Structure 1
């Protein structure tokens, strides 16, 4: 099973970073995302809860069609006998409230794969009408068929090193406007070496010997295959056209330019 995600991120990773909780509030206020309660909890969050609860209960994985709320998830494990028959399973909770409910009954939900670099994250959100209006025709068709695959969340990292999102689809970068891959990036070596140096210091620059111009990592053309930064909008189910449209909106709301990329693992 492969993982596909798209990212939106500030292109000025070497400067002070935008207020991501403020962006979250703007996206909610303007109808790009909806409150993650009841049937507003997106499918990927429900799938994640199914797996985390399976791990917490040390039992077989349970699943059924048309899961729409965290209450549906809890009932899966009630019906399997892994939760008591009288375990409460309300349908109007958020993910956080559901996790708190489980904790009240001595069941601790902990994600072993949680990204340690992330110091703040929003809940996963379902799309509001403003985001749906941005989807390409192909993406909207997919959304109508399999809306449970779609979600949006925001992540922030306030440590020394940025988050890096690359996968098997990582391309060799190019100088903007060129079609020639930068196979050698002296004095760093390869593009992977430059990526490592930029993780240590996002302000580091590589100089193009032919033009004499210097470039930071996000000023190169990575052909939609690399994300680096201290702020990310993380998208599931999107295609490139839809992501770029939303990136324009995020850039306007945040007041600075945004890049976008796809990750495939």
Structure 2
């Protein structure tokens, strides 16, 4: 494992990619309405990123065709944008996107309600978002990698949700995926020690039912094995001496995350 710690100046430099990534996610999420295709959302994302001088970090990455991953209902991650996938009232959609600016990558995701959604889906979104925040709060110097996963897993499983194992968070910097992998499950006080300068994407993928996954034949799309909905929330954060700070955020909310 080759973990690349970032200097304070490098973390500062990453904030512009983070800002733009957060902006495009917000704009695309607001456009996720009934009747809109996921391909339309993808085109909007690319337009916003390029308008500010960024490069869509996902487009062409490993051959992926879109600027966003658009994962609807029982799709966990890596949904390919399509003109045939039309959002309907009651859907949920995970939008995962990022921008490269000056060679640095920002990566973030959020799951949005489409129109009016069921109480079951609302709860799934609320719990999964909170799982992300719990994971971020555990990303403090001196803690271990397993503390992040344990924080996510314990909250999700307390609600009888499935925690995806096969897809995890990751280090990030000049490329999208760096060491270390950041699982959403784990044991406290286990794994590498978190040090200032570590920049990672924390991204719980939580299923309403089984944690088991079902990859599709397109080589990208991953669905839940039981067909129940899945939610996905992600932010890029930096571990600092004072605790975790948010990188993929628009406004000046990069103070250390509260306990």
TM-score strictly above 0.5: no
What TM-score do you get using the length of structure 1 for normalisation?
0.21
**Looking at both structures, which has the greater relative contact order when contacts are Cα pairs under 8 Å and sequence separation is at least 6?**
1
Higher strand proportion: 2
> Where is the helix percentage greater, Structure 1 or Structure 2?
1
Larger Rg: 1
Calculate the TM-score normalised by the size of structure 2. Answer: 0.22
